[in-house]
Amino acid sequence: MVDDDRVFKALADPTRRLLLDLLFERDGRTLTELESRLDMSRFGVAKHLRVLEEAGLVVTRRSGRTKLHYLNPVPIQLIHDRWIDKYTEGPASMLADMKKTLEGER
């Protein structure tokens, strides 16, 4: 329910990351709208959305007869706080900055 495993597993799939990006672009979309942006069956998209929902990354709301999908960014923030912040200090941060600077110069 609350474990990081579900979030990591949900994020491990490129289609699910794409779905999150689509919701970030515009929140509160229906399955039909999301499906139209992917080369995948309605059933397949629904399955991915369910995994995202179980991981808490997507929250659904009913609006009349339609179900809207909303991005919930909190689990990613918590993972960031727990797993990323502490490793990005010091040398790792310096290398990341260096990469950014060098790649930005191209």
Partner 1 sequence: MTAPTTQIYQVFIKASPERIWDAIVNPDLTEHYFHGSRIEITAERRVSRGPDGTLRGDGWVAEYDPPRRLVHEWRPMYDPDLAREESSRVTWEIEPHEDGYCKLTLTHDNLEGAPRTAQHVSGEGWMFVLSGLKTLLETGGRLDGANARADATPRHASTGS
Sole window of 8-16, 20-28, 43-51, 94-102 interacting with partner 1 (rule: CB under 8 A) = 20-28
Considering only CA atoms, which of 12, 13, 7 is closest in space to residue 58? 7
Q: Does 72 bind partner 1 (CB under 8 A)?
A: yes
User: Of 4, 13, 21, 25, which one interacts with partner 1 (CB under 8 A)?
Assistant: 25
Q: Which stretch binds partner 1 (CB under 8 A): 9-17, 22-30, 38-46, 91-99?
A: 22-30
Q: Which is nearer to partner 1, 42 or 86 (CB)?
A: 86
DSSP 41-95: -HHHHHHHHHHHHHTTSEEEEEETTEEEEEE--HHHHHHIIIIIGGGSSTHHHHH
Q: What DSSP assignment string belongs to 18-39? A: HHHHHHHHS-SB-HHHHHHTSS
Interacting residue with partner 1 among 15, 31, 56, 79 (CB under 8 A): 56
4-11 vs 14-25: helix crossing angle, rounded to 10: 90
Q: Which of 11, 28, 54, 79 binds partner 1 (CB under 8 A)?
A: 28
Interface contacts to partner 1, rule CB under 8 A: 1-2, 25-28, 56, 59, 61, 70, 72-75, 77-78, 81, 85-86
